[in-house]
Structure formats: structure tokens, C-alpha cells
Structure 1
């Protein structure tokens, strides 16, 4: 697992980034009721943007880009990174699970901080985290190989667990993609485990991965017959969530290797994602290898 240690200056920049994210989180959450409709725009992946996507992206770009030491801002909503000078690169999914706005289900924000310009791989990752807009506003941060969970109240960070670890006895599973579009190996894996574990899937990666962190298990958005690289973006979702899970003692995989070892070649590159307890990752990789 990649667990880079930032120098003193970078550590201060990381502090500023996550403190700013916490300050903005209540504002993003409070803005959601009035932005539940689709806009006329599509993002670089061809998905229709919600008004809330655009608002969160603009708010985060202005605030994070204004931090001394942040050089580039990139998001799922922008075709190219935005130059803010010298420093680290921040890559965000500003509003993960925005399709959950209509049914009023959980969603979140995912952030990755890279040393250098984008695209960047797991070896370049300095830290990662997510905010979960659930009944409680929480933030998880992975730095220096350690995972911390905090409650965010009035923009302030209140640490509730400074060493989050995935439970050893897994109990839940969640998976994306349409069942007819699954590959033979992945379908066989789900057939094998569905009687052993409880299904937990809500359409927001932040919420679904947090289920795995809380209860142990596996989250997958696999390679599909129609999309061999899956749906999720390497820079914005795959790498940061892989680092979060690995810092908690879990394992990540693209089907054959750690997601942190996947070569980054494009800003909006997609990757199959499997995150969770080592036992379950081993089992899904074995089924995929038999295809």
C-alpha cells in the first residue's frame, strides 16, 4: 500500500485543505434542497449534471484553489484541471451520488490530494477523504497510513475515532452496474456470497463504502460487458477510496491488483473497483480470474 509522508509544508497544506472542506460541508448540505433539478449541462463523462453538482464544484474550486500551496484543482465536472499556481493537486467528486437528491438519500464529497500534476497514480497520493451527508455530517480522512473519522458541526472538526479499522468479520456487500451487464465471473461471485452477507447498496459510493468501513464486507463497481473499465473514475473515486480502505486495514483491487498500483494515463480514466476485507477481495479476484 502506498502511504506517502508529506514534508512539513505539505502537511500544513493538507491541514488547510481538510479544514476548508469541513467549513464548506454544511454550506453544501444546506444548498441541496433548492438544487434538486437537472441542469442543461453534461459533465466530461457524458452525465447530465444536477444543479447541485455545479454549485458544489464552483464552491469547492474557489475555496480550495485559493489555498496557498494548492496548484491545481480538478473534478469530475471539469474537462481539464484548473491552474491555481504552484503546489499540490486536488481532485474531487464534488457531489457523489447526486442522483440520490430526488429520493432524499445519502450522498457525499470525495477528495484526493496528489503531489504533482494530474493525471497521477497511487504513488503520488498524499491524502484522501470523504464527507458523508447522512443523518449526521461526518468526514473521514486518510493520511500517512492512518484513517480518522470526525463529526463536522458548524464547520468544525470533532474527531471521534483517530484509528478507524475495518471489522474483521464482514457482514455486508454492495455492487453497482446492471445485473444483465455483469461478467460471468462477477455474477458467479455474487451468487456465492449473497446468502452469506446482507445487501447494502444505495447509489452513493461514499455511503456504500462507509457501510463497509462500519460493518466489514465488500463494495464493488465491476468491469461490465458494455464497459470493461467499469464506471468509476480512477483519480476522483478509485484511488482515494482505495487508499481510505487500505488505511483501515482492508484491500482494494481492480480485479487483478491494488487500485493504488494502476497506471494513470488520463484525467477521467475509469477503473473497475473492489474494496473491502481481504478474504472477499481474494474471492472476487479468483472468480474474475476464471472468466
Structure 2
């Protein structure tokens, strides 16, 4: 279990906003090499990652590249990745948890993929409340990044390793226009099916199978993304440290809500590094309806997320 105490006691590390900026800049500068790897590293390695998923050569390349770049930063103490079993100690600073290539199976069909980074002021595994920053990169027709701190969310255009602000303050509308739901429909719970039927009557479906791309639709247009628990995956599919916590942090900092079936994703108790969780994120109104439909308001009255239905 992660500790709740801070890791940033060193004066060079304690300036968390500067560290997050440095991490974001470092990831941006790695983008050209990552883009090249999409063309040259498309085969499967024949090995599984710690979550039991077969790795592409691009997964391994992205992991090694980001570890080599982020591990050299003075403000980073631990590097952890979805592609490796244990964290790597690289210094005495903050902890970064990385999904190096989210949705890598989409490379074969030339659909969207991404990179997710969570920056924790705690040992890993850590609570989402220990996040001091998070970002994701979307490799679409253009390469963009959403970077979140306690001050809000900024969207950047990434070109040749440089960042240009696209949206200074990303803010989710109350309702929105799109939804994207993952997992086989027959394995959804009856309560979630009822919710899905309600949402389909008024929102447009946008789902491509890469978390970053699907959540970016929600952050761009408002709405809701969900990957619920399934009959064959009662704990959900997405990894708490590498995917769910950073995405929930970004969405909540943009004025939205997150939920995992009992509480805000960020309040989930961390038990192990590769822990899985259901994930629901999006605009306040559709998330409040989801929470009510799944019975969350009755079972967890302690969540204090902004615009929370429990307040």
C-alpha cells in the first residue's frame, strides 16, 4: 500500500508545479521518437505485461524511452509503468506512473492511441488524492496533450517537441453531447444497461477503444465515458495507478466527476500496483444520473468532489 506522506522534501523537488511542467516538457520532447516507433514497432513481442496482456514492440519501446527520459529528471524519484511488474527507483523525488502507449492494439488499424502520466507525491501504489498532476497525450491527426494541476487543465498542441497552448482552461459543460462505453454489452450489469439506454436517447456514441481518445471526446464536447465492471471482470479492466487515477484527476480538475461504483475514483484505496477498477468519468449531470442509477448516493455519502451529487 502506498504511503500518504510526501516524497518532495528536497528543495529542488518541492516545487511541484515546476516539476510537473518539466515532466510535461520532457514527454513532449519524446513525441517525435514515439511517433516514429508507431511505424517501425508494430509487431507483438510474444510476452505479456503484468496485467496479462500481450505487448507490442511499440509498448516496450515507449516504456523504455519514457523511463530513460523521465528517470533523469531531478524531481522524479520513482518510475512505474503498466508494462513492468515493479516500480524503478531513479532518485528521491516524486513518483510517476505511466501507461506508455494506451490503446496500442489500435496501431494495426491506424486508430487513436495515447500516453498517460500520473505524478504522485507518495510511494506507489498511491491514492488518487496523492496526485499533484496528471497528463495525457493523444496521437491523432495532430498530437495534443491535456495537462492537469491543482490550478486546472490546459490543452496543448505538441509539434516537433514544442508545446503551444490550445485551450488555457479546459472546462466541462454540465451535460455535453457524447458518450463512450466499453466492454461487451451482455456482461454489463442490469443497472448499467438501464443507464446506457437512457443516455443513448440524447447523446451521440463516440467509442474507439483507446481510453485517451475516448476521454478526449468527452473533454472536448462534454458527456460521459464508462468502462464498468463486467461478469468476467468484476474489478473492471482499467488500471487504477496508470489509467483511472490520472484520467479521473484530469476530469475532476476540469469540473467533471469520477466514480468507480462506490466513490470518486480518487478515493479508491490503493492495494497493489496493477490494481484494476471500473471507471466512470464525465460531465456533472450524466455522472450524477449514473451514480443515482447504480445506487452510489445511498452507499457512499462522503465524497466531496466539486459539484458532487452527495453534497
TM-score range, shorter chain: over 0.9
Partner residue in 2 for 1:144: 150
Kindly indicate whether residue 35 of structure 2 is the aligned counterpart of residue 29 of structure 1: yes
SS in 1 for 2:74: coil
Partner residue in 2 for 1:63: 69
Tell whether the 8 Å contact from 2:175 to 2:284 is kept in structure 1 after alignment. Answer: no
Deviation of 1:181 after TM superposition, in Å, equals: 1.0
Deviation of 1:160 after TM superposition, in Å, equals: 1.5
Q: Deviations over 1:101-141 (max 9, x none)?
A: 01000110000000121010122111000000000111110
Q: How does 1:1-291 map to 2 (within 5 A)?
A: 9-289=15-295
TM-score, normalising length from structure 2?
Answer: 0.89
Deviation of 1:283 after TM superposition, in Å, equals: 1.5
Tell whether the 8 Å contact from 2:174 to 2:284 is kept in structure 1 after alignment. Answer: no
Segments of 4+ moved more than 4 angstroms: none
Deviation of 1:37 after TM superposition, in Å, equals: 1.5
Deviation of 1:8 after TM superposition, in Å, equals: 5.2
TM-score, normalising length from structure 1?
Answer: 0.95
Q: Deviations over 1:151-181 (max 9, x none)?
A: 0111011112111111334111001111111
Deviation of 1:26 after TM superposition, in Å, equals: 2.1
Tell whether the 8 Å contact from 2:226 to 2:280 is kept in structure 1 after alignment. Answer: yes
SS in 2 for 1:113: strand
Query: CA RMSD, aligned part only?
Result: 1.5
Distance of 1:277 and 1:145 partners within structure 2: 19
**Residues 145/228 of structure 1: CA separation in 2 closer, same or farther (3 Å cut):** farther
Q: State the number of aligned residues.
A: 286
Distance of 1:289 and 1:223 partners within structure 2: 15
Distance of 2:184 and 2:228 partners within structure 1: 10
Q: Deviations over 1:165-200 (max 9, x none)?
A: 113341110011111111111111111211211110
Deviation of 1:11 after TM superposition, in Å, equals: 2.7
- Identify unmatched segments of 5+ residues in structure 1: none
Distance of 1:159 and 1:145 partners within structure 2: 15
Distance of 2:19 and 2:286 partners within structure 1: 36
